Amino acid sequence: MTSSAPGAAEPAAPTGPDGAPEAATPEELAAQWDAEKPEPAGVVTNAVIALLVIGFGLAGVLGSWALGAGSLGSPGPGTWPLVISSAITLLGLVLLLQARATDDTERFTSESWVIVPAVLSLVPFAYLIEVIGFEIPSAALAFVWLKFLGREAWRTSVVGALLMVAAFYGIFVVALRVSIPHLF
């Protein structure tokens, strides 16, 4: 049994015949992932989240009816929102039924609060789309989310934001001809 002095360097990772580090085995990776796995949220948190999902789904169902769902032969503006909101409500019910059985949800931590500025940033985004089109607000939103909320590198954030806007422009404005406010 050997012991190293405090502050001593860790032993070098095993290397293969070519001098390159050996890849970890699946068992070693699974053990590492289990060690890094956050604590499960618990039954109460699972139930509260499920009830929130159900509440959002039901609010969407009510809003869809207010828009006018129409019929199968003549769908109204609320048809797709009704379908999606109904699916959300059903999935919330499934989550509620599984609240006791599941342990793969994460406990809320201080890192969980990143959702608040993310949601709040959608307010100026939605306003600016109507004023100046979607390109600049979308690029700004993607950049802020990547750089400040996702903690990505500057280059990744800038290039990623520009590529996302270019892709959405190509898909929705050029290919699908969706009537969305845009500059170009």
**Distance from C-alpha of 146 to C-alpha of 17, rounded to nearest angstrom:** 40
Q: What is the predicted pLDDT for the residue at 96?
A: 96
For 23-43, what is each residue's pLDDT tens digit? 778 888 888 877 777 777 889
Residue whose C-alpha is closest to residue 111's, from 141, 140, 150, 143:
150
Rounded Cα distance between 136 and 142, Å, is 10
Domain shared by 184 and 116, yes or no? yes
The per-residue b/e assignment along 146-160, b for 16 or more CB within 10 angstroms, e otherwise, is bbeeeebeeeebbeb
Distance, in Å, from the CA atom of 92 to the CA atom of 72, rounded to the nearest integer, reads 25
CA distance 61 to 54: 10
What letter would DSSP give residue 110? G
Tell me the per-residue pLDDT of 62-114, one tens digit each, with 9 for 90 and over.
999 999 988 888 888 889 999 999 999 999 999 999 999 887 777 778 888 89
- Domain carrying residue 79: 37-108
What is the structure's pLDDT at 1? 46
What would the mean pLDDT of 138-166 be, rounded to a whole number? 96
3-state secondary structure of 81: helix
The residue from 81, 108, 135 where one domain ends is: 108
The residue ranking higher by pLDDT, 68 or 2, is: 68
What's the domain count of the chain?
A: 2
Written as six digits, the tokens of 120 are 């709040």
Apex 85 CA angle, 80 and 90, nearest 5: 130
DSSP string, 34-60: HHHPPPB--HHHHHHHHHHHHHHHHHH
Residue 117 shares a structural domain with residue 180: yes
Domain contains 6: no
For residues 140 and 100, state if they share a domain.
no
Domain boundary residue among 88, 108, 128? 108
Q: Which two tokens stand for residue 23?
A: 């890849």
Q: Which of 50, 83, 108 is the last residue of a domain?
A: 108
Q: What global pTM score does this model have?
A: 0.58
User: How far is the C-alpha of 134 from the C-alpha of 2, rounded, in Å?
Assistant: 63
Do residues 61 and 85 lie in contact, with contact meaning Cβ atoms separated by under 8 Å?
Answer: yes
